[in-house]
Structure 1
Amino acid sequence: MKKIVSILILTSLSAFTWAQLPDVYEPMSRPSSGRVDSSSTTTNSTRTSSAPASFEDRSFAQRLVYGGNLQLSFGSFTVIEVSPRVGYRITEDLIGGLGANFMYIRYGENFFYNGSPSLDYTIWGGNTFASYSLPFGLPLAVQGEYELLNFEVFNPTTFEEERQWVPALRFGGGYFQPINNRGGGVYFVALYDFLWDQDVSFNRRSPWTLRASFFF
């Protein structure tokens, strides 16, 4: 397989949405009737029950976040990537989850040199990841992920390209700018692959991956 520089842009979408409802003023009952305004009481009770609970009281579904990567590029060099992810908010600062990877890459004719044929590659796999935002208002975050990708690797013994499962174990950190209290924000991180192999790794030029990711 030809050398490929892969900078995966992770675009994650958090699915938590709810509104903080204001306090409701409940008028006093009229002394002449001695009756309580039941409609006001009912409205107040309904709105109070719908207010968001503390983080510890949130259900499993309320802690789930959704997102992934989507990359589209067309022309002499075509890239189509769809990599969904599902995460779980373990704490207010820590998210862990699973993801899937699919990528189609095509080099058009004459891409490498005049007369070179077109080349097509299909990559798939999965990953598990974790992201931790540092407390105390620091604009920093650390990230880690383990990934398994299946793609064609050149075999020097048979002089043929064969499909293999290639692992990657990345850790790193960088800048984090939160945009809401649901775990959303913008990440700019550098990740180092501790299993990097120049002969088989997806990014054969360097063990480093620079990534910009978005959580909403």
Structure 2
Amino acid sequence: MKKHFTLLLMLISFWSFSQIAMSSGTQTNRWTFGGGLGVGFGSNSYFNLQVSPRVGYKITDQLEGGIIGNVSWQTSDYYKSTMFGVGPFANYYFARSFFVGANLQQYFINSKEKFSGYKYNTDETALYIGGGYMQSLGNNAFAQFGIMYNVLWKERSSIFSSGFIPSVGFVVGL
């Protein structure tokens, strides 16, 4: 039930963001909206659903700052976990097709092993720096594709398997 409710909320928010972009014929609004959605499958009944909403403000035509959130649900035959993240971001856009950016995230992770009942709660800070390419979708909406690296990542102490992450999402209002 929670998964269906979350999916419904995501679809409603994506639809509202697209309506905002279509209804604003003039570019006087400096607010931007968007985010990303990820789904993963694997062995041992592994399933992952991730939602990353974002709200930004165009400081200049090329510089945007804002806040981004992250919620991830994972489950497998052996464990289940929930991860929440939140933090500020900044993007610099150039040539209307490329961007560089930074994103500071504070993650809170709750995990539980299914057989032993062992619970594990922790938190981790990540500072992602990277960039990528933007494809116009029309009406000031863009798909964004890039790669980011967590400069705070340490192999032995991080909950993440790598410092690199792909960056795929959309933004309305640029």
Query: What TM-score comes out, normalization by structure 2 length?
Result: 0.70
Larger Rg: 1
CA RMSD in angstroms comes to 2.7
Q: CA deviation at 1:161?
A: 6.1
Distance 1:138 1:102, change over 3 A: closer
Which letter does structure 2 place at the counterpart of 1:94? L
Q: What is residue 49 of structure 2 aligned with on the other side?
A: 80
- Which residues of structure 1 form unaligned runs of 5+? 1-11, 21-51, 109-117, 154-159
Residue 156 of structure 2 corresponds to which residue in structure 1? 199
Number of the residue aligned with 1:125: 85
Is 1:91 the equivalent of 2:60?
yes
Q: Residue 164 of structure 2 aligns to which amino acid in structure 1? A: W
CA shift in 2, pair 1:168/1:66, >3 Å: same
Contact kept? 1:168, 1:196, Cα under 8 Å: yes
Kindly state the Cα deviation for residue 96 of structure 1 after the two structures are TM-superposed: 1.4
Change (3 A) 1:199 1:162: farther
Residues 16 and 65 of structure 1 are in contact (CA less than 8 Å); yes or no, is this contact kept in structure 2? no
Question: Where in structure 2 are there 5+ consecutive unaligned residues?
Answer: 1-13, 112-117
* 1:63 aligned partner: 30
Structure-2 separation of matches of 1:92 and 1:178: 16
Query: Partner amino acid for 2:30?
Result: R
Q: CA deviation at 1:191?
A: 0.8
Residue 200 to residue 142, structure 1, CA distance change in 2 (3 Å)? same
What SS does structure 1 have at the residue aligned with 2:22? coil
SS in 2 for 1:17: helix
CA distance in 2 between partners of 1:203 and 1:123 (Å):
12
Aligned residues: 148
CA shift at 1:72, angstroms? Answer: 4.1
Structure 1 residue aligned with 2:115: none
Structure scoring higher RCO (CA < 8 A, sep ≥ 6) equals 1
